[in-house]
Amino acid sequence: MTEPEIAPAPAPARSPLADRIVDTLIHRIGKDERAARKHDWLAATILTLRDEIIDKWMASTRQAHAAGAKRVYYLSLEFLIGRLLRDALSNLGRNAEVGDALAVLGVDLAEIEEIEPDAALGNGGLGRLAACFMESMATLDLPAYGYGIRYVNGMFRQRIDDGWQVELPETWLAHGNPWEFERRESAYFVGFGGEVIGNEVGHVHWKPAEAVEALAYDTPVVGWRGKRVNTLRLWSARAFDPIRLDAFNAGDHIGALAGQVRAESLVRVLYPSDSSAAGQELRLRQEYFFSSASIQDIVRRHVQYFGDIRTLPDKAAIQLNDTHPAVSVAELMRLLIDHHDLPFDEAWEITRKTFGYTNHTLLPEALESWPLPLFERLLPRHMQLIYAINGRVLREARKSDGMSDQAVAAISLIDENGERRVRMANLAFVGSHSVNGVAALHTALMKQTVFADLHRLYPARINNKTNGITPRRWLMDCNPGLTALVRDAIGAEFCDDTAKLQSLDSFSNDPSFRERFSGVKRSNKVGLSNFIGESMGLRLDPDALFDVQIKRVHEYKRQLLNIIETVALYDQIRSHPEEDWTPRVKIFAGKAASSYHNAKLIIKLANDVAKRVNSDPSVGGLLKVAFLPNYNVSLAERIIPAADLSEQISTAGMEASGTGNMKFALNGALTIGTLDGANIEIKEHVGDDNIVIFGLTADEVAAKRAGSYRPREVIEGSRELSQAVNAIASGVFSPDDPSRYRELMNGLYDHDWFMVAADFDAYTAAQRAVDARWADQAGWQAAAIRNVARVGWFSSDRTIGEYAREIWGVM
Ligand code: 7GP
């Protein structure tokens, strides 16, 4: 019998877009449809989309140029941008179309989105804020550039081995980066060391002893609805002589490459130092390398477009993201004076008008300063200029009324207490026309504490710009279920203006809406539970209260307070099994700086407690603890939509703002928090009834620290607290090493700088109040809906609007 002839099934119609993706796959990746693997499809999809983005990108650049527009330059050593594909697709409104095109090709868009590397060129809040700001600047149609470093190894990957954090290099560039463009024409000479030579006519000239070449890589940043595409320009480093052939031929194969290795070391790693100073020479080199390349690039563009360097402040606003780029102040002075022949006073005027500085922390250990001999050896010309600037500032200070010697010493750019050091915060402050904090309380404390004397000298300079988050990534993209629900209820206007979320408020009284709202939350919780089940083998009950603390691990953020409360709750449940306990899942995630001993110990403790609690049948389904490894932007996007309770429990006065707090509230979690950072403003927006506040205020913390706080008495006076602390200290959770946590617990008895003991009872009471609220599900859902409705103000579009009008003068 002969085979019957069967006509092949007609292939589903391929859209032109699908054809373009296949064409890209073949001609730029070099694979056909049959050979292509997931990562090939990912690259082909990104490259196809990028082609479209380029047209808008060029249009944006041409338009800014034609209008002679002022440009914003955001200088940041960190950009925690995360994955870009989903964000770009949704901002271009192409999600469905690209999804369909790929489906016809047998490819699942969601699956390839998942394998895009998470670009983690930042540590935490400050870096993520920079990424949200880039997106909002494009959304608001502001011509803006981000400048940073193209780290080969960004934030480390965290593995949890037997409960301990292990740091591994993250190699996000290992297989190339389809988003970026190398810009060979934008290369700059960056020098280090050497000497300063003066000539007869009073001109000075810096003759560096070594130099590297800074090379630009550009990534397009697409704003909402594709309105505008801006540039994130990241610098890589190259030696001028990639190989010394003489040395190589003489047999020194490794020495011949030393120059290149030295250059590459500049862009090799991101310093894992959220809120702590990294006192390494390499760090100062990185800061100068990227500042110099960026300032040279800005000056070149200005002169090319506008001719006269003296109009720089009218055409360029440079924002310093914390002090990491502060040496830019001296670098611009150097270029204006040494290369453009401006007199010092005029250069200083231009510089101050051009720069703005944002402070992100008051922690004294994070205020950067460099040993003067190091600074002078590496940057001799900048040192001279800093002395000259300092002379000017100190003369002004001395002339101003009522400045004590002590105040003048505090204003000085040089710290004379002990080993002399260059103070980068003071340099950024005096070199800027605007100095801002990131939440109202933080800004007030800046005036009262670290910058008190500078504030007295320049009283108009400090201003507040409360942080914000981009609602595209942090609501629309990460929580499509909630987004669709909100759209059904109030229409799509909130997608262009989150203030419009306000109309959702009345839906909190609508039982059927509440039901749908809680259905969306539940399905997000099921998704997270499945993920945790698959990745960690831990089974969770999606109907339990998901209580989440995810952020960098730091003593001031008080994960320890949360863990001790967990231990106390565990005790209570075991002692009173008859009571009606609220089933809870405690979720933790976060990285600790690799040299931060106590933070790493706190991670181990969370894991030790999890191990014990999760395997104890006597608490059954009532309490589970999960520490999720390798917290990053993508993991946050998964966890936040599934949270019921957002832990924002820093010691009051210590968290500058927080931005996670905003993301959780926008996704319908209730906050349990202290009166710290932006929590205070969140409370003002959502109303006292829709947030759970506890604990000491910043003033009370300051008073306790100044007075006679005796944590030992507090601990001994609280039965629950002392039981929990003693259990941890005596090794109940660390039978393999009973003394593991003794020191950590002794720290609480002896000084308790972070007020864990002082706030414990208030925190426990607040948690029990949370339980009571949870029991009233209608009330809980109503409050959660009001959170979503009332936090639209915390959009980074609002924040950027304020920067644009009040600091940059571009709106
Ligand atoms: C963080 C602050 O700790 C956080 O409160 C704030 O929301 C965020 O900046 C954005 O403003 N600071 C850092 O990430 C940091 O590294 C050291 O500060 C300079």
What residue segments make up the domains of the chain, in order of their start?
Answer: 12-67+100-117, 68-83+118-465, 471-697+762-800
Q: Does the complex come out with an ipTM higher than 0.95? A: yes
CA nearest ligand 1 atom 7, residue = 658
Q: Of all residues in the chain, what percent carry a pLDDT higher than 70?
A: 97
| 518 Cα–ligand 1 center, Å | 32
Q: Which residues pair with 69 in a beta bridge?
A: none
d(CA 475, CA 125): 18
| 131 Cα–ligand 1 center, Å | 13
- CB of 656 within 8 A of CB of 557? no
Picking from 125, 43, 267, 77, the residue whose alpha carbon sits closest to that of residue 631 is 125
Which 3 state secondary structure label does DSSP give 318? strand
CATH architecture of residue range(s) 471-697+762-800? 3-Layer(aba) Sandwich (3.40)
Q: Is 557 a catalytic residue?
A: yes
| 127 Cα–ligand 1 center, Å | 8
* Amino acid in the structure at residue 306: F
Number of the ligand 1 atom closest to the C-alpha atom of 323? 19
The pair of three-digit structure tokens given for residue 457, joined into one six-digit string: 């000298």
Pocket test of ligand 1: the residue of 80, 121, 360, 648 to mutate, having most ligand atoms within 8 Å of its CB, is: 360
Q: Read off the pLDDT band of 203 (50, 70, 90).
A: confident
Number of the ligand 1 atom closest to the C-alpha atom of 361? 18
Check the CA dihedral 58-62-65-71 and report its sign. Answer: negative
CA nearest ligand 1 atom 4, residue = 658
Residues 6+ positions from 402 with CB-CB distance below 8 Å: none
pLDDT of the residue at 364: 86
Mean pLDDT of 405-416: 97
Residue 272 clears pLDDT 70, i.e. is over it: no
pLDDT of the residue at 487: 98
pLDDT of the residue at 242: 82
Which 3 state secondary structure label does DSSP give 463? strand
Number of the ligand 1 atom closest to the C-alpha atom of 658? 7
pLDDT of the residue at 402: 85
pLDDT of the residue at 455: 98
* DSSP tag of 507: G
Number of the ligand 1 atom closest to the C-alpha atom of 127? 14
Q: What pLDDT, in 10s, does the model give residues 293-352?
A: 999 999 999 999 999 999 999 999 999 999 999 999 999 999 999 999 999 999 999 999
The per-residue pLDDT of the chain, averaged, comes to 95
Residue 408 clears pLDDT 80, i.e. is over it: yes
| Lateral strand order in the sheet of 645-648 | 623-628, 584-589, 545-550, 645-648, 670-673, 692-693
Residue 259 clears pLDDT 90, i.e. is over it: no
d(CA 434, CA 438): 13
Same CATH fold assignment for domains 68-83+118-465 and 471-697+762-800: yes
Mean pLDDT of 775-784: 98
Q: Of all residues in the chain, what percent carry a pLDDT higher than 90?
A: 91
The catalytically annotated residue of 50, 83, 157, 360 is 360
Q: Is 663 a catalytic residue?
A: yes
Number of the ligand 1 atom closest to the C-alpha atom of 363? 17
pLDDT of the residue at 11: 62
Q: Is 551 a catalytic residue?
A: yes
| 627 Cα–ligand 1 center, Å | 23
Element (H, E) at 198: strand 195-198
Q: What pLDDT, in 10s, does the model give residues 558-583?
A: 999 999 999 999 999 999 999 999 99
Mean pLDDT of 694-707: 97
| 660 Cα–ligand 1 center, Å | 11
Residue ranges lining ligand 1, Cβ < 6 Å = 123-126, 129, 274-275, 322, 360-361, 366, 438, 467, 655-659, 677
Number of the ligand 1 atom closest to the C-alpha atom of 438? 11
Pocket test of ligand 1: the residue of 126, 555, 646 to mutate, having most ligand atoms within 8 Å of its CB, is: 126
pLDDT of the residue at 620: 82
Superfamily assignment of 68-83+118-465 in CATH? Answer: Glycogen Phosphorylase B; (3.40.50.2000)
pLDDT of the residue at 157: 96
- Where b means 16+ CB within 10 Å and e means fewer, 492-530 reads eebbeebebbeebeebbeeeebbebbbebbeebbeebbe
Residue 5 clears pLDDT 80, i.e. is over it: no
Q: What pLDDT, in 10s, does the model give residues 61-95?
A: 999 999 999 999 999 999 999 999 999 999 999 99
Q: What pLDDT, in 10s, does the model give residues 152-193?
A: 999 999 999 999 999 999 989 988 999 999 998 889 999 999
The catalytically annotated residue of 157, 551, 584, 604 is 551
| Beta strand segments in 328-454, E | 355-358, 369-371, 414-415, 421-423, 434-437
Q: Read off the pLDDT band of 274 (50, 70, 90).
A: low
| 673 Cα–ligand 1 center, Å | 17
The catalytically annotated residue of 557, 591, 600, 612 is 557
Distance of CA 627 to the CA centre of its chain: 20
| 659 Cα–ligand 1 center, Å | 9
Residues 6+ positions from 431 with CB-CB distance below 8 Å: 326, 329, 330, 351, 352, 355, 357, 389
- CB of 785 within 8 A of CB of 504? yes
Q: Read off the pLDDT band of 6 (50, 70, 90).
A: low
In this structure, are strands 204-207 and 229-238 parallel, antiparallel, or unpaired? unpaired
pLDDT of the residue at 277: 65
| 492 Cα–ligand 1 center, Å | 32
pLDDT of the residue at 621: 87
Number of the ligand 1 atom closest to the C-alpha atom of 655? 5
The catalytically annotated residue of 24, 45, 483, 659 is 659
Q: Read off the pLDDT band of 4 (50, 70, 90).
A: low
Residue 1 clears pLDDT 50, i.e. is over it: no
CA nearest ligand 1 atom 8, residue = 125
The catalytically annotated residue of 302, 525, 552, 586 is 552
CA nearest ligand 1 atom 16, residue = 274
Residue 3 clears pLDDT 60, i.e. is over it: no
Residue 531 clears pLDDT 90, i.e. is over it: yes
| 184 Cα–ligand 1 center, Å | 34
